[in-house]
Chain A
C-alpha cells in the first residue's frame, strides 16, 4: 500500500522514516567525529561526508513533508491522555523542525566560513550568507546546540515508541515497521 490511511503508514512514509532515521544517526556520528578530530585529511573527509549527508537530509525532509501533507496521518491510539497527545505532537513537530534547522544552520556555517564544497563531489553548494567569521562561529554554536536538542528528542521518541509497544501494548511501533503491511 502506497498511501497512508487512518491507521496505517504506506510504504513511502515508512521508507522516509527508516531511511532518514539511518541517515540522521550516521549524521550525528559523522558530525561528532568531524568536530572532534585533529586537523588532518581525515577531518576534512569527515566534514565532507557530514555536509553531503546533511544536504541529502534537507532534500529528503522536504519531500517527506510534501508526502505527509498529501496523505492522511494515522491517528494516535485511543485512550491516550491529553499530555501524551500533546507530547507526541510536540516531539514530532520538533523532529521535523530540527531536520530542517540543522542542515540550514550547517549550510550557514559552510557559507560564512567560505569553504568551497560540492555535495557528493557533484553539485556546488551555493552560499546563503556572506563570508564572515563571527557569523560562522555563531551558526556553529547554534548548530551544536540544536544537535544536542535533537539527541534529546530522539531519545524521547524512541522511548515513547518502546513504551507504546511494551507498556501500552498498542500498534504505534509495529505499524511503522517495514515488514508489516498494515
Chain B
C-alpha cells in the first residue's frame, strides 16, 4: 500500500452534522485478480490510536473507555472471507471487522481502478457504532452523537514483487 495516496476516513454525526475523522495510520494488503475475485483476500490493519477527529477536545475524549479505549484496543482489523464482483469494476468484500474487541461480519463495497504499477480501491460502508461498543454508557443514546458512522476509504496499492 502507498500511504501517501491512501486515506481511511470515518464520518460520525454530531447534532445531525457530519463530524469527520481519519485514521492516519493503517495498512491494507490485497491478493486480487479482478477477473477471478473468488480466490482473493483483503487484510486491513488499522492503528486505532492514530484516529484524528480534527478537534483537540474530541481527540482527548475518544481515547477513553467509552469510545475507542486506546489502552485496551489499539488496533482494529478487517479480514475478508470472500470477494466477488457486483458489476464492471465494482466489487464487494465480505469479511470480519474486529474493532474494540468485537467481531462483526461486514460487507464492504469498493471500486477497483487499475493504474500504472498498481490500482486504487475506493469505497464506503456505514457501520453502527453501537455494534462495536463505540460510545457506551450515556453516549449510547444516538440523539446527540448519531448511531451511524460512515467509513470511507481510498487505498492506493502497488503491485508487490
Contact = CB atoms under 8 A, between A and B. Distances in A.
Given A44-B144, A131-B54, A121 B61 contact: no
Interface string A33-64: 00000011100110010000000000000000
B87 interface: no
Given A113-B56, A114-B54, A131-B54, A41 B143 contact: yes
Given A41-B138, A114-B54, A48 B145 contact: no
Nearest to A52: B15
Q: Which of A41, A44, A117, A131 lies at the interface centre, i.e. has the most chain B CB atoms within 10 A of its CB?
A: A41
Contacts of B14: 44, 115-116
B139 A48 contact: no
Interface stretch (B16-24, B102-110, B118-126, B149-157): B16-24
Interface in B19-67: 19-20, 54-58, 61
Nearest to A40: B138
A125 B18 CA distance: 12
B141 interface: yes
A177 to B, nearest CB: 37
A118 interface: yes
B145 A41 contact: yes
Contact of A117 (B17, B20, B57, B61): B17
B144 A121 contact: no
A133 interface: yes
A124 interface: yes
A48 B58 CA distance: 15
B140 to A, nearest CB: 10
Contacts of A121: 15-17
Interface string A82-117: 000000000000000000000000000000011111
Interface of B: 14-20, 54-58, 61, 138-139, 141, 143-145
Given A115-B55, A116-B17, A118-B17, 13 more contacts: A39-B61, A41-B138, A41-B143, A41-B145, A44-B14, A44-B144, A48-B144, A114-B54, A115-B58, A116-B20, A118-B16, A131-B54, A136-B56
